[in-house]
Amino acid sequence: MNPMQIKIEEAKARGKVGLIPFLPAGFPDRDRFWKELEGLDDCGASVIEIGMPFSDPVADGPVVEKASLKCLDDGIDLAWIFEGLKARKGRFKAALLLMGYLNPVYQYGLDKFASDCEAGGVSGLIIADMPFEESGFVKEALTPRGVSLVPLVGLNTTKERMQLYADDAEGFCYFVSVLGTTGQRESLPVKIKEKLAEAREVFDIPIALGFGIKHPDQLAQFEGLMDAAVFGSALISHIEGGGTSHEFMAPWM
């Protein structure tokens, strides 16, 4: 079983929702990034999602995009990310997940990328702009290294298409709550419950709800339909405003 699934299942066994916070690598600066990751880990994150900054982040809303572009301006790249992860391998209780887009991963070299994931203790990868039909060659590189490609499904994903992802899915299923980009929202679409129920029928791995999540109160209505929550924009905004990961995570614990 992939470490991401193990950690989410452990939270579920304690009666908790698995917490999956997201931060772009190098945010808010090179040194503090690692301190914030340690804070998220100390506060009980099940999985920590690390963004790989990219110049054309089509799935990201304005908060994440602004933070990612700042990280690019600061010289953050995959080599820097892996150097830091390798130096800290074994320190995190949470499972580690990288999120980004295909271009930087492909340019880095898939075999090298997969090898460095293993060396850095990374358990999973999300590639937001890669459909199922084009994912085979990436999985071939990742699987021997123990790295799982996390599927993304959403409100417009048919049950039949979910099954394509579910047949060999590992770690968890990322359910995108809106038809749009990432970002904080006051309310979530009413159709989510219906589609989450479909995903629950199809997938035998945990379901994580993301996009638009900013506070744990939003999750009560989905009890029993999801196992974990992904949040990024609200956390980034909190840190930009002078706060810390510890402070942000307090209501979730």
State the catalytic residues: 49, 60
Query: Rounded CA gap, 185 and 147, in Å?
Result: 31
The long-range contacts involving 139-146, CB below 8 angstroms and separated by at least 24 positions, are 139/168, 141/110, 141/111, 141/113, 141/114, 142/114, 142/117, 144/114, 145/114, 145/115, 145/117, 145/118, 146/2, 146/118
Query: Rounded CA gap, 112 and 108, in Å?
Result: 7
